[in-house]
A and B are shown apart, each in its own frame.
Chain A
Amino acid sequence: MVGIDKDILLEIRNLCSGYKRKNILKGIDFLVRRGEFWGLIGPNGSGKTTLLKSITKILPAQKGNVFYNKKDIMKIPAKQLAQKIAVVPQVSVFHFSFTVEDFVLLGRIPYLPRFYLEGKNDYRIAEEAMGLTETISFRQRRINELSEGEKQRVVIARSLAQKPTLLLLDEPAAHLDIRHQLDIFNLLEKLNREKGITIILVSHDLNMASQYASQLILLNEGKIFARGSPKEIINEENIWKVYGVKVKVTAGIKGNPLVNLFK
């Protein structure tokens, strides 16, 4: 039975979730083990972002459950959950002019009692996060002055300051040029391999997802259409069925499937 598997970090059972008038997820079952790197792919409106929001209690489940480490997330206090799961959102809007360092330190909020200022340990963790994301060289700059790629790395640094076991990302590289996209994905690979952080990544970029994620879930209309290794998932038949697009899948340089679009 899967229930006694110690490595299971996240277990989603028969999850139905969505918004007031619109049910989006229709019965998702999904197991994530420690150290895995999952890519969530699927067309617009297939429920990728809804799934992420259900894992972090932004959207409460209408049916079914999400378990983190065998505990129902609805029973885990928000503060405790924030020590385990961090989120990098699709877009961050900066209404304010924090410095990079102060912004990263906000990631320590789940750990601090009401009255405490950040201590040495919090600064050390924030510095480590800025080091990993290579943002430490501009730690005193205001966040509004940064380029898009730099901003996104700062947001990732803040999520790392939460010392998460599980990192959720919603198209972290969507607005970036290819160089900055590569930077972000290489960083995620490093975090997964060296720091053992479990990652669930939503991406529209099938080629990036299949290169970096070790396993993929293909969502379609609120249901899991297919799951497995990139080689099993990314094929012409699946893409035709889900996206309604004819593509040519060839082997990439590293042996990964490569989706070729054509007119």
Chain B
Amino acid sequence: MITSNKMKRWIGWLIVLMILLLAISFLSLMIGPVRIPLTKSISLLAQKLCFWKSYPLENTPAAVILFKIRIPRLILGMVVGAALSSAGVILQGMFRNPLVEPYTLGISGGAAAAVGLVIVAGLSGTLTQVIPLAGFAGAIGAAILVYFIASSGGRLTIPTLLLTGVIVSFLSSSLIMLLMSLAKGEELHGIMFWIMGNLQETNLSFIITVSLIILIGIFISFLFARDLNALVLGEEEATHLGIEVERTKKILFILASLLTGVAVSASGVIGFVGLMIPHLIRGIIDADHRFLLPASALLGASFLVGADLIARTIISPRELPVGVITGIIGGIIFIYIIRKRKVEFRW
């Protein structure tokens, strides 16, 4: 039967993507200033998982590096990559354009400005949830601002939307620079480090909060996969297919802002992940959002973990912000898509 064939193909690809994620994850656990061999990582992980708290954790440097540094970083890379790609899928589906994503729409910038504000105000230490909440608030503020400015002329067009996104990004980065010039020494360092996009975060309860919000956000987005399939036909046609377009758009906007805001609050501004990954999956495998969403989340996770691996090893012992790597790769792909779309109008 045809249904099961499509299903089989999807599941097959999802398994491939999971294996890829697993492989990259182990690589990122092994490689670094201190090399931890594969067997060692696996045995340490097995110990931790099997004996959990009943067994005192081995107190070797390898174990400390693995559990205190590399695993938190790996988890953060996975959820941030997945969140940004999923937000990209949602926004691209809503606006029927492959150049739209959290970064190009200024949503990441808005989130960053709000988080910067909270850090400078000295509120960051109060509660684990304050920072992600600030990220979400900034993201949704920027999203609403961009949407209303871009659609104020009556009809919303993609160039206006992108241009407005760029302007909101400029505004946000000016605000961040203002905050930085007002900040005291240690805060300044905190903002600087975070703003460039990096995954060094060791506060476990923060990582768990962020991961949970992102996983829930992706799950809810998945429930709207069919609505996104209808929306790519256009808003009127989606209405003809029984979608309550205005309500659905609001929910999707909130979801994309939530995913972006929380990801940015954890890792700073990491651009273009949400642009590249969905484009790649759509082009190579399938454009159906029921597949596109989970597949992009998986590939986004692998991509960011891989990019982070490059960022922290390429000029070792020093580290690059991972945003630099994604920015360079993503910028090139952005230009490529623009050039290609002149010739043919297809995703």
| B-binding residues in A (CB < 8 A) | 53, 56-58, 77-83, 85-87, 89, 92-98, 101-102, 106-107, 109-110, 112, 114-115, 117-120, 123, 144, 162
Cβ-closest chain A residue relative to B248: A78
With contacts A114-B223, A123-B2 known, is A96 near B240, CB below 8 A? Answer: no
Judging by beta carbons under 8 Å apart, are B229 and A106 in contact? yes
With contacts A97-B346, A112-B226 known, is A89 near B242, CB below 8 A? Answer: no
* Chain B: minimal CB distance from A201 (Å): 16
* Chain A: minimal CB distance from B2 (Å): 6
Judge whether B347 is part of the interface by a CB distance below 8 angstroms. Answer: yes
Interface residue range, chain B: 20 to 34
Query: How many angstroms between the C-alpha atoms of A95 and B232 in the bound complex?
Result: 7
Q: Which A residues touch B346, using CB under 8 A? A: 94-97, 144
Of B97, B223, B236, B242, the residue contacting A110 (CB under 8 A) is B242
B32-82 at interface with A (beta carbon < 8 Å)? none
Query: How many angstroms between the C-alpha atoms of A177 and B175 in the bound complex?
Result: 58
Judging by beta carbons under 8 Å apart, are A117 and B236 in contact? no
Judging by beta carbons under 8 Å apart, are A117 and B290 in contact? yes
Judging by beta carbons under 8 Å apart, are A109 and B243 in contact? yes
* Chain B: minimal CB distance from A66 (Å): 15
Scan B313-347; emit 1 where CB is below 8 A from any A CB, else 0: 00000000000000000000000000000001111
B238-282 at interface with A (beta carbon < 8 Å)? 239-244, 282
Cβ-closest chain A residue relative to B241: A109
Judging by beta carbons under 8 Å apart, are B239 and A78 in contact? yes
Judge whether B234 is part of the interface by a CB distance below 8 angstroms. Answer: yes
Q: Which A residues touch B242, using CB under 8 A? A: 77-83, 109-110
19 A-B pairs in the complex with CB atoms less than 8 angstroms apart: A58-B236, A58-B239, A77-B242, A78-B244, A79-B242, A82-B242, A85-B240, A93-B234, A94-B345, A95-B97, A95-B345, A97-B287, A106-B229, A106-B233, A106-B241, A109-B229, A112-B226, A115-B223, A117-B6
- Contacts A106-B229, A106-B230 known; 14 new A-B pairs at CB < 8 A: A77-B242, A78-B243, A78-B244, A79-B243, A87-B240, A89-B237, A95-B96, A106-B233, A109-B229, A109-B243, A110-B242, A114-B223, A117-B7, A162-B241
Q: Which A residues touch B127, using CB under 8 A? A: none
Q: Which A residues touch B1, using CB under 8 A? A: 120, 123
Judging by beta carbons under 8 Å apart, are B3 and A117 in contact? yes
Of B2, B241, B290, the residue contacting A82 (CB under 8 A) is B241
Query: How many angstroms between the C-alpha atoms of A18 and B232 in the bound complex?
Result: 25
| A-binding residues in B (CB < 8 A) | 1-3, 6-7, 96-97, 223, 226, 229-230, 232-234, 236-237, 239-244, 282, 287-288, 290, 344-347
Query: How many angstroms between the C-alpha atoms of A115 and B288 in the bound complex?
Result: 14
Query: How many angstroms between the C-alpha atoms of A162 and B240 in the bound complex?
Result: 10
Cβ-closest chain A residue relative to B242: A82
Judging by beta carbons under 8 Å apart, are B288 and A102 in contact? yes
| Among all A-B residue pairs, the 3 with the closest Cβ atoms | A82-B242, A79-B242, A110-B242
Q: Which B residues touch A81, using CB under 8 A? A: 242
Judging by beta carbons under 8 Å apart, are B239 and A107 in contact? no
Query: How many angstroms between the C-alpha atoms of A204 and B7 in the bound complex?
Result: 44
Query: How many angstroms between the C-alpha atoms of A83 and B229 in the bound complex?
Result: 17
Q: Which B residues touch A107, using CB under 8 A? A: 241
Q: Which A residues touch B236, using CB under 8 A? A: 53, 58, 89
Of A57, A96, A97, A102, the residue contacting B239 (CB under 8 A) is A57
Cβ-closest chain B residue relative to A56: B240
Query: How many angstroms between the C-alpha atoms of A19 and B17 in the bound complex?
Result: 48
Q: Which B residues touch A101, using CB under 8 A? A: 2
Q: Which B residues touch A110, using CB under 8 A? A: 241-242
Cβ-closest chain B residue relative to A93: B234
Q: Which A residues touch B241, using CB under 8 A? A: 82, 106-107, 109-110, 162
With contacts A58-B239, A86-B240 known, is A96 near B3, CB below 8 A? Answer: no
Query: How many angstroms between the C-alpha atoms of A81 and B240 in the bound complex?
Result: 8
Cβ-closest chain B residue relative to A21: B154
Query: How many angstroms between the C-alpha atoms of A83 and B241 in the bound complex?
Result: 8
Query: How many angstroms between the C-alpha atoms of A144 and B86 in the bound complex?
Result: 26
Q: Which A residues touch B226, using CB under 8 A? A: 109, 112, 114
* Chain B: minimal CB distance from A167 (Å): 11
With contacts A119-B3, A120-B1, A120-B3 known, is A96 near B243, CB below 8 A? Answer: no
With contacts A92-B237, A110-B241 known, is A123 near B230, CB below 8 A? Answer: no
Most buried by B among A93, A95, A98, A102: A95
Q: Which A residues touch B96, using CB under 8 A? A: 95-96
Query: How many angstroms between the C-alpha atoms of A58 and B242 in the bound complex?
Result: 11
Cβ-closest chain A residue relative to B98: A95
Query: How many angstroms between the C-alpha atoms of A58 and B241 in the bound complex?
Result: 12
